[in-house]
């Protein structure tokens, strides 16, 4: 038994038109010649015919109504053209170039990227990948070849530096870093220790005795005076040596005192002599010869290769400690350097206008190219999906999207048919009476 509640409104309208036609036919047979009965039957016939015609037309889009084979089941017959048109519609309408670019322009890509990169989790992942990549790149390097290249580069760089530039740079570095005063302080401690040693006093005393002997032996009067002075205790070489040792200790301590007059005097004399040496051609020639000898004689290749081997050993076994750990601070320093460069890159992307524009342009260009490539892929996906559908699935897919409109088309067939039937019947009556 048919369930009336499961029928759509177009089927109900057509069924009502059929029953109304039966009622009109019965009234017409009962009351022949009655113009009202004839008009009612005329309208009912037109409504029924219009409803059946539109039902046939709508049904013929998807299947063969009542098995009629001619120009029916249009969608299954022309599914290839439908699929092609759907692909074109998706690519040209839904994902057109203008719409893609319009939506991309509304995105704030660089702020989104900076916000993502500023997250701690993102930073840790990026640093981990960079550390892993650098470790792998360093471990894959040929140490001997790299050592040879680096040594040649160092020799070329050092060979192009003038000796006077080295002296100026060293002097400036000593002044600015305060290492000159630190050096004098270290020298002061060494000198004080040496001056306070008993051997120093003994050496001074011997020098005084030698000096006294040389002076007293020059004349008989000097020898007599020396003997007389020793006899009465006017000359005590041991006491003089002790006093001189004490003075040396005082001078050594003063040399190490920060900003002391002696320290300033020594530093001034040192830099004055450096400036004099810097201008002397003979000293410059000596430095050039010394530089050439050192560059040619130093085994830079072996030193650099050993350093690279130590780095590779440490990178290959970062957890090793003790005497086997050649460079124990390499991994932490490398990670610290990567972290600093990561933060510096983010700061530059925010503050540097040229870099900001370049990165933003690159992001928009990359996204636009990806979207245009996806436009083609979307068409391929749509074509593949629609091609896999059966005729029934394809009919259901299309019908579900336009079902309300198709139902109203069928209902309009009955409604418009009834109206046209009424109009034609009135025209017939007017023609008969005229």
Six-digit token string for 338: 């990567």
- Token pair listed for 238: 């041991």
Q: Is 65 left (phi over 0), alpha (psi -120 to 50) or beta?
A: beta
| Percent of the chain's residues with pLDDT above 90 | 1
Q: What angle do CA 233, 239, 243 make, to 5 degrees?
A: 140
Average pLDDT, the chain: 78
Per the CB < 8 A criterion, the answer to whether 383 and 87 are in contact is yes
pLDDT of the residue at 330 = 65
DSSP secondary structure string for all residues of 252-281: HHHHHSTT-HHHHHHHHHHHHHHHHHHH-H
For the segment 59-88, what is each residue's pLDDT rounded down to a tens digit?
Answer: 888 778 777 777 777 777 788 887 888 777
Tokens coding 388: 């896999």
DSSP 228-243: HHHHHT---HHHHHHH
pTM (global) more than 0.85: no
pLDDT over 70 (residue 228): no
Residue 222 pLDDT greater than 60, yes or no: no
State pLDDT tens for residues 104-115. Answer: 777 788 888 888
The span from the CA of 82 to the CA of 91, in Å, is 14
pLDDT tens digits for range 153-181: 877 777 777 777 777 888 888 888 888 88
Nearest to 292 by CA among 160, 418, 187: 160
């Amino acid at each position: 038994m048919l369930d009336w509640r499961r029928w759509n409104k177009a089927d109900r309208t057509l069924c009502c038109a059929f029953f109304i036609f039966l009622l009109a036919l019965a009234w017409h047979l009962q009351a022949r010649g009655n113009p009202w009965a004839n008009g009612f039957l005329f309208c009912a016939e037109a409504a029924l015919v219009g409803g059946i015609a539109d039902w046939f037309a709508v049904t013929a889009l998807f299947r063969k109504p009542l098995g009629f084979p001619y120009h029916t089941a249009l969608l299954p017959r022309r599914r290839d053209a439908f699929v092609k048109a759907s692909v074109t519609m998706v690519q040209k309408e839904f994902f057109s170039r203008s719409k893609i670019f319009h939506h991309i322009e509304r995105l704030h890509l660089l702020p989104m990227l900076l916000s993502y990169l500023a997250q701690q989790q993102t930073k840790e992942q990026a640093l981990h990948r960079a550390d892993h990549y650098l470790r792998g790149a360093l471990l894959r390097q040929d140490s001997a070849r790299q050592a040879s290249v680096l040594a040649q580069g160092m020799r070329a760089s050092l060979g192009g530096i003038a000796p006077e530039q080295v002296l100026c740079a060293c002097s400036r570095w000593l002044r600015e870093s305060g290492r000159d005063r630190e050096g004098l302080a270290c020298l002061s401690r060494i000198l004080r220790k040496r001056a306070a040693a008993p051997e120093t006093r003994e050496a001074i005393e011997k020098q005084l005795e030698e000096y006294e002997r040389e002076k007293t032996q020059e004349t008989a009067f000097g020898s007599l005076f020396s003997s007389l002075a020793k006899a009465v205790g006017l000359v005590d070489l041991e006491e003089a040596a002790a006093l001189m040792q004490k003075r040396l200790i005082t001078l050594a301590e003063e040399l190490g005192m920060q900003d002391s007059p002696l320290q300033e005097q020594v530093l001034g004399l040192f830099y004055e002599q450096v400036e004099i040496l810097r201008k002397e051609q003979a000293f410059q020639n000596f430095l050039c010869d010394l530089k050439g000898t050192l560059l040619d004689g130093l085994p830079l290749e072996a030193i650099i290769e050993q350093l690279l081997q130590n780095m590779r050993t440490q990178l290959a076994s970062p957890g090793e400690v003790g005497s086997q750990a050649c460079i124990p601070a390499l991994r932490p320093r490398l990670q610290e350097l990567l972290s600093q460069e990561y933060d510096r890159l983010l700061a530059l992307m925010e503050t540097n206008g040229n870099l900001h524009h370049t990165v933003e342009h690159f992001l928009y260009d990359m996204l636009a190219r990806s979207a245009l490539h996806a436009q083609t892929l979307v068409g391929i996906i749509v074509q593949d999906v629609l091609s896999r559908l059966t005729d029934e699935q394809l009919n259901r897919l299309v019908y579900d999207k336009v079902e309300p409109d198709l139902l109203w088309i069928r209902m309009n067939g009955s409604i418009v048919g009834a109206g046209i039937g009424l109009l034609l019947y009135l025209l017939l009556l007017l023609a008969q009476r005229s």
